[in-house]
Structure 1
Amino acid sequence: MNQFLALFFLVCASAVPAQTFVCDKSQPGATTLTPASIYSQAAPGFDLNTAPEVTPGSCSSDKPFFFSIALPEGSYRISVTLGGAQPSTTTVWAEARRLMLEKIAIQANGSVKRQFDVNVRVPSIAGDPSHTVHLKPREIGNLDWDNKLTLEFNGDHPAFRELRIEPVHETTIYLAGDSTVVDQDVEPWAAWGQMLPRFFRSGVVVANHAESGETIRSFVGEQRFAKVMSLIQPRDYLFIQFAHNDQKPNAVPLDDYKKLLVDYIEKTRAKGATPVLVTSMNRRTFDADGKITDSLAGYPDAMRAVAAQQHAALIDLNTMSKTLFEAMGPEGTLKAFMHYPANSFPNQTEAINDNTHFNKYGAYELARCVVHGIRRDKLSLRKSLSKDVPDFNPAVPDPVDDFSLPATPIPPKAENVTKIPQT
């Protein structure tokens, strides 16, 4: 019955017609956007109390702005023509800060066309409103779990001329993990899962179901694994990374951890999909010689053993992160982890000194490690990786002074950004 319902809702999403939006001009078959085009459940438009300047042929602003459209659960291809009257550098985030396009520079009066794919999801499982993911308070109303697709245009005079949205059915990478993988929705927090979409061309979509505070067991208990299993199709992938919370007292003993990993693998394979185990990255724990010490209590070794026994693909992010963090050094890693003095961001009244979680730079570098692992393991996904990013050597991190991504506006509900966003 659940398989039938999942297929039914997949067909519903596929039946959604393609929609095209243009800025203040008439075009056959397209919806014209004006300054009055404000989002509602009944009408697509500009959202979250933002609106660009709309002129014939361009929607642009000197501030970030959002566009939303109500859509059923599924995956969608976004074809966007960027550009405006002024020189612009546009970064596009989707949903709860998933990086889609990175700093696309365009000359004044120029145009650049790009495509990317976005996954939209809702809490109900297989369309059954009585069977849902057990959302945490912070997830309720989150852009990852609503009934709409939201795009954020950010950067230096972000601008677009035309936007086309159409349903697609394609290879999906599902992510299961914790706060080091999740779509962190509030600046300055970030995780590698929300950076991963940037590294793929259209034809592959990332569905990040990771959530802060999760263990491999609670991910099942909160019906998150059931949600993924209700959606996953043959030729899809499930990337699995757990350890940071599993190792805590009275959480998940190693033997249970290994049994649950095997269960994830078997159930994913039964769906015709490919499980990929990802060992958890290290924490920022250095010894006196500048070497990373093991703070994960044998859980990465347990995952390596299960991968070998089950002949499952393994991305050894734990080993790569050790190389990466040691190359950055104790001082350099301060700029990759969550270390900020008080008042660095709105609503940040206290200093942040966190050796587990990452800012955008740290998350981006870890995503590059994961992409390197995809290439090294020769997963078929490597054929869909973006061609504008060369392979990555964790021993040679990107210079932090050369890195920047525009900041998403911090929502008013984020009363204290120093708090680890878990509840």
Structure 2
Amino acid sequence: MTTRQASFVPMTGWGQTMQLFIHPEIEVVNCARPGASSKSFADRGRLQWILDHLMPGDYLLISFGLIDEKTDAGRHTLPFGSFQDYLRLYIEGARERLAHPVLVTTHERRGFDGHGNLNWALGHYPAAMRELAAQTCTPLIDLYAQSITWWQQLGPEGTKGIFLFLAPGEHPNYPEGIEDNTHLKPVGAIECSRFVARTLAEQGIVPPHWVVNLEQPQFPAEAMGWLDDETHEALVKARTVQTGTAQ
């Protein structure tokens, strides 16, 4: 979801393209951080920063799972245990401030076996989020299920146009090329945020007139919202109650 800095272009988080589909009178603040799990984001004071700034009537979109499966103690959670426990902190914290929490399952990684079958790498985290949504009566947007459909339709080669696959010399930020099965190019981020925005409107989670541009097929590069590196670094340091924390 992270809004990426200019030195990472064309890597694009779907959180940074949400602005394209939300009416300009509605402020979108993307607080996602790279490499953060539901645990590390909360433990490092980033959730508290959000809760300190939430206003009644705000919406808090909560999407984790890609990093929660990491094995290091600072980030790892158990799907039907600590993952749900941490997500409850986000849900309950938002409701205590009269804001509206919304759970969003994360998109699947790109991974195919030798027969072209998609590997389901995220295990039980999407199911655990769905279960928690039902238990807590929290709106759920199932981006994970939608991404499975997309990636299967596109196949091993087609998904390279969605994910950060670049040949050597194709982009100055990646002179040696890159094959990244987790992070998205603009087209992938846009379609993920388009799906999230459409679902927000169709399910009546937000007033439908807040959602715009759903039928616009493309957007110019300058609309992607990439940050210069200095601004990105400043926000990383500022949006935490633990000033200077880097994750």
Letter in 2 for 1:350: E
Query: Out of 252, 268, 277, which is 2:77 matched to?
Result: 252
Name the structure 1 match of 2:4.
Answer: 184
Aligned to 1:389: 214
Larger Rg over CA atoms: 1
Separation (CA, whole Å) in 2 of partners of 1:183 and 1:325: 23
Change (3 A) 1:404 1:288: farther
Q: Do residues 309 (structure 1) and 135 (structure 2) align? A: yes
**Structure 1 residue 185, shift from structure 2 partner:** 1.4
Does residue 285 of structure 1 match 2:111?
yes
SS at match of 1:206: coil
Q: Among residues 18, 22, 36, which one is paired with 1:214 in the alignment?
A: 36
Q: Is residue 348 of structure 1 aligned with residue 178 of structure 2?
A: no
Q: Does the CA-based 8 Å contact 1:307-1:313 persist in structure 2? A: yes
Aligned counterparts, 1:51-90, within 5 A: none
Partner of 2:234: none
Q: Which amino acid aligns with 1:360?
A: P
Cα distance in 2, alignment partners of residues 198 and 276 from structure 1: 19
Contact 2:37 2:68 in 1 (8 A): yes
Name 1:406's counterpart in structure 2.
221
Change (3 A) 1:347 1:364: closer
Deviation at 1:293, TM superposition (A): 2.5
SS of residue in 2 equivalent to 1:320: helix
Q: Which amino acid aligns with 2:26?
A: V
AA aligned to 1:194 is Q
1:193-248 CA distances to partner (integer Å, 9 max, x unpaired)? 11001111133111100000101111112211111111101110100011111011
Q: Is the 8 A contact 1:315 1:377 kept in 2?
A: no
Q: Which residue of 2 aligns with 1:239?
A: 61
**How far apart, in 1, do the equivalents of 2:117 and 2:127 lie?**
19
Residue identity matched to 2:163 = F
Quote the offset at 1:360 in angstroms: 0.7
Determine helix, strand or coil for the equivalent of 1:205: coil
1:359 corresponds to: 185
Is contact 1:316-1:373 (8 Å) kept? no
User: How has the CA–CA distance of structure 1 residues 287 and 375 changed in structure 2, closer, same or farther, with 3 Å as cutoff?
Assistant: farther
Deviation string 1:156-182 (CA, Å, 9 cap, x unpaired) is: xxxxxxxxxxxxxxxxxxxxxxxxx01
Cα contact 2:3–2:227 (8 A) shared by 1 = no
Kept in 2, the 8 Å contact 1:239–1:276? The answer is yes
2: CA distance, partners of 1:229 / 1:412 = 26
Q: What amino acid is the match of 1:225?
A: L
Between the aligned partners of 2:96 and 2:71, the Cα distance in structure 1 is 33
TM-score of the superposed pair, with normalisation by structure 1:
0.50
15, 37, 49: which one pairs with 1:193? 15
My pick for the range that moved more, 194-203 or 280-289, is: 280-289
**Separation in 2, partners of 1:360, 1:234:** 32
C-alpha distance in structure 1 between counterparts of 2:24 and 2:172, whole Å: 35
Q: What is the CA-CA distance between 1:346 and the residue it aligns to?
A: 1.6
Aligned residue type for 2:162: A
The equivalent of 1:17 in structure 2 is none
Q: 1-side partners of 2:70 and 2:92: how far apart?
A: 26
The structure with the greater share of residues assigned to helix is 2
Task: Name the SS for the 2:204 alignment partner.
Answer: coil
Q: Which has the higher contact order (CA 8 A, sep 6+)?
A: 2
Residue-by-residue CA offset, 1:228-278 (whole Å, 9 max, x unaligned): 111101110100011111011131222111111112111110100110000
State the shift of 1:291 in Å. Answer: 4.2
Q: 1:287 to 1:376 in 2, by over 3 A?
A: farther
How many residues were matched structurally? 224
The question of whether the paired residues in 2 share the 8 Å contact of 1:216 and 1:242 is answered with yes
Bigger strand fraction:
1
In 1, the alpha carbon distance for the partners of 2:180 and 2:108 equals 13
Identity fraction in percent: 31
Structure 1: gaps (5+ residues): 1-180, 392-397, 414-421
Q: Hey, what does 2:52 align to over in structure 1?
A: 230
Q: Are 1:195 and 1:364, in contact at CA under 8 Å, matched by a contact in 2?
A: yes
Gaps of 5+ in 2: 231-245
Q: Distance in 2 between matches of 1:272 and 1:347?
A: 42
Please give the alpha-carbon distance, in whole angstroms, between the structure 1 residues aligned to 2:110 and 2:173. 25
Rounded to whole Å, the distance in 2 between the matches of 1:356 and 1:412 is 21
Q: Among residues 249, 268, 271, which one is paired with 2:97 in the alignment?
A: 271
